[in-house]
A and B are shown apart, each in its own frame.
Chain A
Amino acid sequence: MNAEEIATDDSVVTDMADAVPATTGQDRGFVAEDIVFDASDLSVYYGDFRAVRDVNMLIQRKEITALIGPSGCGKSTVLRSFNRMNDLIPTARVEGNLLYRGVDLYDPRVDPVEVRRRIGMVFQKPNPFPKSIYDNVAYGPRVAGRKKGLDDVVESSLKKAALWDEVKDRLQESAIGMSGGQQQRLSIARAIASDPEVLLMDEPCSALDPIATARIEELMAELKDEYTILIVTHNMQQAARVSDRTAFFSVEVDETSDRRTGLLVEYTTTEKLFSNPDDERTENYITGRFG
């Protein structure tokens, strides 16, 4: 499935039309011109080992898409292939197609550094640089060569990350002294400061307490107005609370080699996936019978 085919289809199609039968009108469709990512038959390998196979997904602009599934199902691997972070692992390799606004992200002419400036990432563990709060936020714009107007960028990014009021008087202090929740919001501010179009979040709340988690979730709902967000989470309630669409990944084990390969089982609106999933495996997982 690619963007052109969709465009001919009255510019609105049901998600994963070939895999999932269209449900009643509540099912939200894709708008062709707002498709940010188009993954078709995407597989990720580590050396000879295929970690994830045959992922077919469309990602809609200014929506939150959640990737859920049991450990080892490759949801993080898929997420990291969306801004070529897997390139940092020497043996990692991608097969299939991944279009970002119509451009093949794995075209040899594409510079992964340029990709990462447009597609920001927030990691599982808060990872501020051992620099001041200001320098942390200004890092992205600076590496992109920006020298003027950094004060404004820092202020607006911290405001968007709901952190400004807490830190405006200590911008020059080290970011290491902040609490975990603050550090994670700083990571979000830092990602926003590069003015990306997409934010990839890899289990952003797994190291945080429930109160800090709630704040990040609130923040994501606000950021949705401006950014397209993909979030990997092991917390099904979180996916249900924040996301518009959810993709459920699972693992299949090769009996002979005992190798585990992840695959996309079901991808639809969050509402449908959690209330009336089409696949039995999805149902087993969300009802707690598996995983």
Chain B
Amino acid sequence: MADISISNSSTAAVGSLSVEALAGPQKRARKEALIRSVFLLASLVSILISVLIVVSLVRESWTFMTQVDWSVTWGQNGWRPRRGLYDMPTLLVASLIVTVIAMLVAGPLGLGAAIYLSEYASKKTRSFFKPILEVLAGVPSVVLGFFALFFISPQVIERIGRNGWLVIGAVIIIAYLAVIAGWTRNLVRREAGTELATQIKRVLTLTALVATALILIWWVNSVAGSGDPASADFFSVKRSGQLAAAAVGVGILTIPLVASVSEDALASVPQELRSASAGLGARKLTTTVQVVLPAAVSGIVAAFIIGISRALGETMVVFMAGGAADEATFTSSPFEGSLTMTAGMASLATGTDNVVGEGLTFQSLYFVGFVLFLLTLFLNIAAGRFVNRVRERY
């Protein structure tokens, strides 16, 4: 008891506080509340806009779905909305072809660039390459559409289409050479410093020079000598585009996206893991493949999914270089022209809200948009699931 009375008297000396003294000014509390509601409003507006988009999409699609004769949406040998033929497989297959080829271009190149930038490049090279990638990301898609239509289509795809066997042969030869090169490199490493190694190096250099010369001769010959109008003049206008050209263009547009998201994923792998791997006697490539890539897999999968979404949604390039105007015949060949879902929509909705065509043409575009929306949604959910499953395994 005596202790308590002592402590009481000592508090009295300091002086007791009222709650108001610690309550803070009223004005500050009001300001906090105001700021809070401003940010809440901003987030609500964006949610509202998204909801409105989905609602309008669903409403017009609903009109289409309830009124259309479903037999015209399947197996009609072509997407001809002005004539009331809404063959979905035409658009779906074209979108699939474009997306697959685009990812065949953007996947390896994007991931490869990311691995180089994150694992191999010195600071100096990185500061040189990254801005270039960003420039590529900033190329307007209409410019790439031009590039796809006037260069990729006549100079690359036409050539592949015409000389398919030649290209396949070239790929096989290159793969074969790569295997030989890898094998010789190991041999050279084992025999380092000996006469044999010098000899092998000499032979290899010579082979590489001869191979380069041969490829150059073939290229010049096929450009200048074949008499084909498309190849007579390097930048001559090709008669029309085709899906593959558009897809390569879309792929080029997608590279920076895949590269930058993958690079973020790789860069977030802790440096300690690389040191640990090196400390256990792993070579750089082993460390990258065995440790860094698995640790970054969720981010890399995300990069690919984002890339696929981008390729699926890209419009201008496929519209310009896809080789079809406002209607398309069903094709499953990447060397022919067709309309993807996005190009199909864009080609009819140009400049005015009057879509020329019979009854449901306008609504059919909403329906296509709705399908595209569902696909992307499904893709994102599936990606999320996959990423989680991979992550759990660790």
Contacts and interface: CB of A to CB of B under 8 A. Distances in A.
Q: Is the A/B pair a real complex?
A: yes
Interface of A: 83, 85, 88, 90, 109, 113-114, 116-117, 120-121, 123, 125, 127, 129-131, 139-140, 143-144, 174, 176, 187, 190-191, 194
Contacts of A123: 272, 275-276, 279
B272 A125 contact: yes
Contacts of B279: 83, 85, 116, 120-121, 123, 191
A131 B282 contact: no
Nearest to A88: B278
Interface string B263-307: 000000010111111111111001000110011000000000000
Contacts of B277: 129, 139, 143
A117 B275 CA distance: 13
Contacts of B294: 129-131
Given A116-B279, A140-B281, A143-B280, A109 B193 contact: yes
A130 B394 contact: yes
Contacts of A116: 278-281
B280 A174 contact: no
A125 B272 CA distance: 8
Nearest to A135: B290
A174 B394 CA distance: 5
Given A83-B279, A123-B276, A194-B281, A139 B270 contact: no
Contacts of A139: 277, 280, 282, 290
B275 A120 contact: no
A113 B283 CA distance: 6
Contacts of B37: none
Interface string B106-122: 00000000000000001
Nearest to B189: A111
B26 to A, nearest CB: 48
Contacts of A113: 281-283
Contact of B280 (A90, A114, A194): A194
A31 to B, nearest CB: 28
B174 interface: no
B192 interface: yes
Nearest to B297: A130
Given A127-B275, A129-B295, A120 B192 contact: no
A85 B394 contact: no
Given A90-B122, A113-B283, A190-B276, 7 more contacts: A85-B279, A88-B275, A109-B193, A114-B281, A129-B295, A130-B394, A131-B394
Contacts of B295: 129-130
Interface of B: 122, 192-193, 270, 272-283, 286, 290-291, 294-295, 393-394
A211 B89 CA distance: 67
A88 B295 CA distance: 20
A129 B291 contact: yes
A81 to B, nearest CB: 13
Given A109-B193, A143-B290, A174-B394, A127 B272 contact: yes
Q: Is the interface of B mostly helix, strand, loop or mixed?
A: helix
B278 A117 contact: no
Nearest to B272: A127
Nearest to A115: B281
B277 to A, nearest CB: 7
Contacts, number: 69
A143 B282 CA distance: 6
A126 to B, nearest CB: 9
B281 A117 contact: yes
A8 B277 CA distance: 41
Nearest to B283: A113
A121 B282 CA distance: 13
Nearest to B274: A88
Which of A125, A139, A174 lies at the interface centre, i.e. has the most chain B CB atoms within 10 A of its CB? A139
Contacts of B393: 174
Nearest to A84: B278
A127 B122 contact: no
Contacts of A130: 273, 294-295, 394
Contacts of A176: 394
Contacts of B192: 109
A80 to B, nearest CB: 9
Contacts of B282: 113, 139, 143
B122 to A, nearest CB: 6
Contacts of A129: 273, 276-277, 291, 294-295
A135 B191 CA distance: 32
Contacts of A144: 281
A123 B286 CA distance: 20
A90 B125 CA distance: 13
Nearest to B192: A109
A90 B283 CA distance: 16
Contacts of B275: 85, 88, 123, 127
A120 B276 contact: no
B280 A191 contact: yes
A190 B277 CA distance: 10
Given A130-B294, A130-B394, A131-B294, A143 B276 contact: no
A194 B295 CA distance: 22
Contacts of A120: 279-280
Contacts of B274: 88
Contact of B273 (A83, A88, A114, A127): A127
Contacts of A121: 279
Contacts of A194: 280-281
A121 B279 CA distance: 6
B116 to A, nearest CB: 16
Contacts of B290: 139, 143
B211 to A, nearest CB: 30
A221 B280 CA distance: 22
B393 to A, nearest CB: 8
A144 B273 CA distance: 18
Nearest to A83: B279
A114 B279 CA distance: 10
A192 B314 CA distance: 53
11 contacts: A109-B193, A121-B279, A123-B272, A127-B272, A127-B275, A127-B276, A129-B294, A129-B295, A143-B281, A143-B290, A194-B281
Nearest to A117: B281
A85 B278 contact: yes
